[in-house]
Amino acid sequence: MQDIRTQGLTAADVAERVARGQVNTLPPRSGRTVGQIVRDNVFTRINAILAVLLVVVLTTGSWINAAFGLLIIANSAIGIIQELRAKHTLDSLAVVGEAQPLVHRADGVLRLPRDHVVLDDLIELAPGDQLVVDGEVVSADHLEVDESLLTGEADPEPKQVGDSVMSGSFAVAGAGLYRATKVGADAYAAQLAAEASKFTLVHSELQGGINKILRFITWLLIPVGLATIVVQLTLPGVAWNQAILGMAGALVPMVPEGLVLITSMAFALGVIRLGRQKVLVQELAAIEGLARVDVVCADKTGTLTEQGMRCQRILPIADLAEPEVRDVLANLTAADPHPNASLVAIAEAVGTPERPWTPTQRAPFTSAKKWSGARFGDREGWVLGAPDVLADGPVAAQAEELASGGLRVLLVGRSDDIATESAPGHVDPVALVVLEQRVRPDARATLEYFHDQDVTVKVISGDNARSVGAVTSALGVSTGEPVDARTLDTPARLSEAVAEHNVFGRVTPDQKRAMVGALQQQGHTVAMTGDGVNDVLALKDADLGVAMGSGAPATRAVAKIVLLDDRFATLPAVVGEGRRVLGNIERVANLFLTKTIYSAILALLVVLWRLPFPFLPIHVTITGWFTIGIPAFLLSLAPNNERARPGFVQRVMRLGLPAGSIVAVTTFVTYLILRNGNQLGDAVSLQVSTATLACLIVGATWVLSVVARPYRWSRVALVAAAYGAYAAIFVLPVTAHLFRLDISNGPMMQTGVLMGLLSAGLVEAAWWIRARIFGVPAILWAPRGEDAEEAVVTRRHAER
């Protein structure tokens, strides 16, 4: 029988394992299915409320009054389109990044897709190959594996025959074969991905606040709706279809449907803006999470540093000058067919040799002996490696002093014996080569931005703590003494350390997750960046997970933000976009809450007085166009850089409650005055509705003028345009006929406009009183030379 451990599987062996399900079947590439995305965006509370009202209105046969039903489509479509776009991008990234291993089988060596690998397959490894399954090494030629995506440890691990290797790691030096021992869901990387695969939505205080309002409205709609329809149906001379339209006219404006739409649109526009900066947002609400972040947990490798090392300097310590040392180093690096990261960095610094020497003997580097070397013809041998192995005395002391700053120091020297597998013979030290991690050029500015914005950056790495500290010190940002996470052996110690320190080394994946949890328990909103499988669980638990585009597929699947260009420096723009969107949404929410409040109060007053509702559904629809809808959309696009604060509902209630009450009471009083206690015919009833609507629009538009402050001329023009648009709708015969308006009764219209001006005056007074009570500067105009948004920030800081 053929030995599958050395010869590979036969076709029969493969078929047997496929039949037993021992295939490398992997979970879906990205977090949610299309069906889940559609369901989560369609079956929402606000869509349910609007759908019920839509069905009720459609029973009357009045299609124009059912126009509000289009909001169901708009609310759902924006979220669905964005999330499907994100899913498509992630799936495309995953396909591009999928490894196709070289598999040894009885009938030859085959390049196979990763999901065609079966248990006991023999898989070849060369530098740069990704391990697609867990396995056991069966052949190794100076094989070294980079497990940084799994452990965070930057240095590669040497692998000998019999050693285990894990999926998600990479071969970086040497070559070898390994046998698949765990495939599919049993593999290490797949187990981490499976634990993280349950898609969790970003916590959204904004959505939570809107849902609180919607829950209240849901319970309010039932009694008010029943009472309204009973009142409307029992009124003498009112047909059933008119009663239904009256009920819908009372209930539809109580639903802040436009707030959900504007929020979705503002988030979607934020996603588009970020997309232009190579940032993929998987979920709209992640935009809000960006604005609330006050702690960023960043991995060192791949975030603050780039892959690989950089040669900082070469220090001659003998009779050879630096140019001669560089020539030696160039020949040593050229002689190694599988250079490791240190040799690659040295080769980049010294270049290729002008007159290459011919190597006649080579000793490859291994982590066990910590040196490599070569002999070139009749020349003496040269070695390159760890100073504490190759030298002692002052040279070793000088190297140790340099290394204490987190640098990597190698010694180059002459040696007559490089054939040994342990230490070479006598070594004559020639120079020290100092290597440092390659720091991203934009990392310093990024850390300084977060410091200026009161956002704490905590560097959490699986690498050596001293090395991590050296990188942060090199960036010129004070982050405190580095902590070796191996000393944090209890939850209490870990929680205390993560509160007091900002730099951590030797952090395990479980500790990363625990650190995120400890920060959240301390009241922080935490963003976690990462690129490796070892970051998956922490990314999932963080308030906002941010993955690198070139990172492991599992991290991209669970993260809410993916930096497609791998630039940590993109994060300030991401945070700024989140603040702009959230700050502006909070401002326009005042408009929508005001409408909800005046609609609810007006409906209750009509029920208590047992009167026909003054407006048709189309009337309340056009009321929202220029007092809320279009202006709110334009206001939501303005710049805003203020960090989000808790208490969204309370803050918008401070203006929405008094303003909504004023508009409702003045509108209802106008309705009572115009009715004068009489039963009205259709013609007069339409005139009363039109004049009462004028009162409502004048007052509601002044709420817009208050929310738009501090003024700039563009915002004054916005308010003036709203009044002008309504004047045109009322005056033009075509629009008046289309929207069921009648302005032919001059005295009634005069009364309506005057009561509207009274409403506007009372809203103005409420704004000033609110500013006095809560100690907020009442700023009418942005100071000359100052951006309007800076004035807003000044005002809101006082509100804290």
What does the alpha-carbon distance between residue 209 and residue 656 come to, in Å, rounded to a whole number? Answer: 14
HSE of 241, CA atoms in CB hemisphere, 13 A = 7
What does the alpha-carbon distance between residue 256 and residue 277 come to, in Å, rounded to a whole number? Answer: 33
Q: Which two tokens stand for residue 518?
A: 């400890």
Nearest to 503 by CA among 451, 543, 539, 459: 459
Q: Are 373 and 415 a contacting pair, CB within 8 Å?
A: yes
Q: Is 120 a catalytic residue?
A: no
Q: Are 584 and 637 a contacting pair, CB within 8 Å?
A: yes
**Which of 121, 134, 299, 463 is the catalytic position?**
299
Q: Are 297 and 526 a contacting pair, CB within 8 Å?
A: yes
3-state SS assignment for residue 77: helix
Nearest to 45 by CA among 251, 212, 205, 229: 212
Helix residue spans in 252-315 (DSSP H) = 257-276, 286-292
What does the alpha-carbon distance between residue 272 and residue 577 come to, in Å, rounded to a whole number? Answer: 11
Backbone angles phi, psi at 507, to 5 degrees: -90, 130
What does the alpha-carbon distance between residue 268 and residue 246 come to, in Å, rounded to a whole number? Answer: 35
Q: Are 707 and 766 a contacting pair, CB within 8 Å?
A: no
Where do we find the tokens 């041998």?
Answer: 381
Nearest to 261 by CA among 69, 84, 86: 69
Q: Which two tokens stand for residue 554?
A: 């599992």
Residue 462 DSSP code:
S
Q: Are 137 and 119 a contacting pair, CB within 8 Å?
A: no
125 beta partners: 176
Residue 165 DSSP code:
E
Q: Are 411 and 384 a contacting pair, CB within 8 Å?
A: yes
Per DSSP, the residues of 53-74 read HHHHHHTTT-SGGGGGGHHHHH
What does the alpha-carbon distance between residue 356 and residue 334 come to, in Å, rounded to a whole number? Answer: 8
Torsion angle of alpha carbons 719, 722, 727, 732, nearest 10°? Answer: 150
Q: Are 384 and 371 a contacting pair, CB within 8 Å?
A: yes
Q: Are 328 and 242 a contacting pair, CB within 8 Å?
A: no
Residue 626 DSSP code:
I
Helix residue spans in 625-712 (DSSP H) = 630-635, 648-675, 682-707
The region that residue 247 occupies, defined by phi over 0 for left and psi between -120 and 50 for alpha, beta otherwise, is alpha
> Which residues are known to be catalytic?
299
